[in-house]
Amino acid sequence: MTRATIEAYYAAFNRGDTDAMLDTLHDEFAHNVNEGATRLGKEAFADFCRHMSETYKEELTDMVVFSNEDGTRGAAEFVVNGTYLKTDPGLPEAHGQKYVLPAGGFFSLKEGKITRVTTYYNLQDWIRQVSA
């Protein structure tokens, strides 16, 4: 069930379906983004997703999902294939730059729902790619 939940979360991401992503989340949800503050709750996550969909167009490929035996933790490794659509404050100016970035996500689950996702990628590599 853990792998299926994580796979559903990322399939919804690739479709741009925030509501389906929210359906995979537990009410006690925490989102730890790379180089950013923790967002608590589904509403904060939905706001983040809206911002991201305006600023970036991304598709995740080469996905490999792992989980522990009791279904409380999981991880995924993937490649982010993206386009930088709109300048994100504090980052380089956007003008449709393409990027390819290895990344990963780490999950905690409770009652078959995601309680935490922590995302990691190399921000300096992304900055280098969109600044070139």
Would you state the pLDDT for residue 87? Answer: 95
For residue 116, list its beta bridge partners.
30, 108
Residue 16: the pLDDT is 93
Token output for 47: 């706001």
Each residue's pLDDT tens digit, 69-86: 999 999 999 999 999 999
**How crowded is residue 51: how many other Cβ atoms within 10 Å of its Cβ?**
12
Question: Residues 38-62: pLDDT tens digits?
Answer: 999 999 999 999 999 999 999 999 9
Main-chain phi, psi angles of 49, to 5 degrees: -65, -40
Question: Mean pLDDT over residues 117-121, rounded?
Answer: 95
Inter-residue contact 78 to 10 (CB < 8 Å): yes
**Predicted local distance difference test score (pLDDT) of residue 68:** 94
The model's pTM is 0.92
Q: Are the C-beta atoms of 29 and 40 separated by less than 8 Å? A: yes
pLDDT-based confidence at 132, cuts 50/70/90?
confident
DSSP code string of 92-124: PPPSS-EEEEEEEEEEEEETTEEEEEEEEE-HH
Percent of the chain surpassing pLDDT 70 = 100
